[in-house]
Amino acid sequence: MNGSHLPLIKLTDPSKEHTYIIDEGGSSPIMSEVREKARLAKQVTNRLAALTTEQKNNALLKMADALVAGQAAIIAANQEDLQLGRENGLTSSLLDRLALNETRIADMAEGLRQVADLPDPVGDTLETFTRPNGLQVKKLRVPIGLIGMIYEARPNVTVDAAGLALKTGNAVLLRGGSSALHSNLAIVRVLHDALADTDLPPQALQIIENPDRASVDELLKLNGLVDVVIPRGGQSLIQTVVKNASVPVIETGAGICHTYIDRDADVDMALDIAFNAKVQRPSVCNAMETLLIHQHFAEQHLGMIVNKFQEAGVELRGCEASRKLTDGILAATDEDYATEYNDYILNLKVVADLAEAIDHIGKYGTMHSECIVTNDAANAARFLQVVDAAAVYHNASTRFTDGFEFGFGAEIGISTQKLHARGPMGLPALTSTKYVIYGQGQIRA
């Protein structure tokens, strides 16, 4: 290996709850891979914070070029993962997510170039004020420090997360799904080589090799080293992180999104928005799972709605009132209303009024994206104010909750929690702040 690489980690006893390495220097104490890599990454956070935008962009462009130049090695490693995946019985959709080819690698490289093109939020002055005693206070945007990313078997997330974190002057500790391990390691090797020729220290980018669950548990407890963990993936991954982390977490993802068609809605608009919210891409978090319909609207138009969805192959599950109005609707259970299908299945519910719709959303929603279709301005205003979600829509599809659609140029994820960032997260969500105070000898009385 060349000098820019980090020392190869030796898992001396992978069967232990915490695995250990012997530092190749031979003198330092035994330390787990996760802690050692977090420590290495943390060591350079001060240097990263001092990099200019130009230095960071140059590094990203070198990383992009290196991915393309190094694609043979990456594809070869990916073949190993695919082979193991087939042996382990991965589904074809999982194998598809895992697979890399020249086009996908070119896309990953292009993603890095786009991130390089985005404005750098680090160093922005957010506030400045002078106190009566003459102290001048500035609030500046600074990198967060060391970001832990935990994700599933999608090698593109490795590149994506590295690019977003490094652009914002953060170090990053990656822990991808074990079935993409060879691909991820090959990608990180290529990126490390690229960084060796830049001002951005390769140490800033770390990937955990130990596929054991214990390495995730350890990462989640590294208070003082890891400043935040961001999980990316399905609900089970995200909930594992939320429940077990003692380091701060940004919760992303789960979306049980509703569209409510009010009594006084434009019929064509309502059908277009509802159809788009469900069918345009059912597998994503901002797709609709439940359609709420005012009883008067339902009485007149439910048959047409049901036809439209059934023609698109959507299975419908509804409340008793909906099933009385129209054939072809299965009975929906409480559990159905609480399920994120991410599939061609839609819950229907006929409601008496706006208040019932709002209550239903309060009970079953995940505070992601919620929509009202109506021409009644008062009802729209009430819905937008009272519904507690990251994004609330009047007369538009919930599918727009997305960093690119919002014009952020990048998206780290969609926060469904209320601290730090809420909704689509662009680059500023990967920064913190710092107060810088300039005095002339002031002391407190």
Stretch 228-267 residues interacting with its own copies (CB under 8 A): 228, 242-246, 248-251, 266
Give the 3-state secondary structure of residue 136.
strand
- 362 touching its own copies, by CB under 8 A: yes
CA distance linking residue 98 with residue 104, whole number of Å: 11
Nearer to its own copies, 12 or 280 (CB): 280
What amino acid is encoded at 397 in this protein?
S
CA distance linking residue 377 with residue 413, whole number of Å: 32
Q: Which of 121, 145, 155, 231 binds its own copies (CB under 8 A)?
A: 145
Q: Which stretch binds its own copies (CB under 8 A): 43-51, 57-65, 185-193, 254-262?
A: 43-51
Q: Which of residues 70-99 bind its own copies (CB under 8 A)?
A: none
Q: Which of 40, 391, 410, 427 binds its own copies (CB under 8 A)?
A: 391
- 257 touches 398 (CB < 8 A): yes
Cβ neighbours for 27, distance < 8 A, ≥ 6 positions apart: none
Q: Which of 223, 283, 300, 310 binds its own copies (CB under 8 A)?
A: 223
Nearer to its own copies, 88 or 385 (CB): 385
CA distance linking residue 413 with residue 255, whole number of Å: 12
The closest of 315, 310, 319 to 337, measured between CA atoms, is 319
Q: Which of residues 118-137 bind its own copies (CB under 8 A)?
A: 129, 131, 135, 137
CA distance linking residue 100 with residue 74, whole number of Å: 8
Query: DSSP code of 287?
Result: S
- 442 touching its own copies, by CB under 8 A: yes
- 400 touching its own copies, by CB under 8 A: yes
In Å, how far from its chain's centre is CA 317? 29
- 39 touching its own copies, by CB under 8 A: no
* Minimum distance from residue 58 beta carbon to its own copies (Å): 20
The closest of 198, 237, 200 to 216, measured between CA atoms, is 237
Q: Which of residues 262-291 bind its own copies (CB under 8 A)?
A: 266, 269, 272-273, 275-277, 280
Q: Which stretch binds its own copies (CB under 8 A): 12-20, 142-150, 152-160, 188-196?
A: 142-150
**Residue count, binding to its own copies (CB under 8 A):** 72
